[in-house]
Amino acid sequence: MRLAARLLATSSLALVLAACGGGGGGGVGGGGPTTPPPGITFTPASGTAPAVRLLPGPGTAGTVLEVQIEADQLSGVYGVAFDLSFPAGLLRFDGSSEGTYLSSGGLQTSLQVVQASPGQLVVGYSRLGNVAGRGGSGELLTLRFTGIGAGTGNLSFSSAHLFNAAGDELSAPAWLGADLQVTL
């Protein structure tokens, strides 16, 4: 009988410990894995100028991603045309806005951004009128996205061209994309 009582007591203690998670938790920093907060990690590709590069914009926070498309030491730029691929399962395209690079000095410009298919933007941006192209560095435009899925992916340029005021294509700079990780 004593053996039966002892086995019962030991079994009861084992059940209580199992129900409590085996002990050991409850202190500061204890417990299981933590879930990172929702957000987007944006890593621009590196490369030297002259270049057109993607950089994180000032409105990037949480699951909102602003991508600034920057001109870096270019010369004679009147217009730009390119496709930008992005991971449609991770990001939703929300809109665009002009930067100040082509419109400096109050010049008129025209920006067209069309989502041709999921994950594919077609962009055309140009100065208007009989004016010279622009040199130097600055923000061409900004694209806004929202994170909609968790994972990793990249943003990359294709069919990328720069044009001068005569409509001639300028020598190709580096077109530098970016990698990203979305956590939801």
- For the record, the structure tokens of 172 come out as 């190709």
Lowest average pLDDT, out of 30-39, 78-87, 128-137, 151-160, goes to 30-39
Please report which confidence band the pLDDT of residue 36 belongs to, taking 50, 70 and 90 as the band edges. confident
Residue range of the domain that includes 52: 36-183
Q: Residue 27 falls within a domain, yes or no?
A: no
Q: What pLDDT, on the 0 to 100 scale, is given for residue 28?
A: 58
Each residue of 85-105: b (16+ CB within 10 Å) or e?
bbbbebbbbeebeebebbbee
Lowest average pLDDT, out of 22-26, 115-119, 156-160, goes to 22-26
Q: Residue 179 falls within a domain, yes or no?
A: yes
Q: With the C-alpha atoms ordered 88, 152, 121, 138, is the resulting torsion angle positive or negative? A: positive
What's the mean per-residue pLDDT of the chain? 88
Q: Residue 23 falls within a domain, yes or no?
A: no
Q: Residue 50 falls within a domain, yes or no?
A: yes
Q: What pLDDT, on the 0 to 100 scale, is given for residue 11?
A: 41
Please report which confidence band the pLDDT of residue 34 belongs to, taking 50, 70 and 90 as the band edges. confident
Pairing of strands 51-56, 91-98: unpaired
Q: Residue 155 falls within a domain, yes or no?
A: yes
Q: Residue 88 falls within a domain, yes or no?
A: yes
Cα(9)–Cα(158) distance, rounded to whole angstroms? 72
Mean pLDDT value across residues 79-85: 98
Instruction: Give the global pTM.
Output: 0.81
How many domains, the chain? 1
Q: What pLDDT, on the 0 to 100 scale, is given for residue 172?
A: 87
Q: What pLDDT, on the 0 to 100 scale, is given for residue 38?
A: 93
Q: Residue 6 falls within a domain, yes or no?
A: no
Q: With the C-alpha atoms ordered 124, 109, 139, 49, is the resulting torsion angle positive or negative? A: positive
Given a cut of 70, whether residue 19 has pLDDT beyond it is: no
Give the CATH number, domain containing residue 144: 2.60.40.680
Q: Residue 119 falls within a domain, yes or no?
A: yes
> Over the stretch 175-184, which tens digit does the pLDDT of each residue have?
999 999 999 9
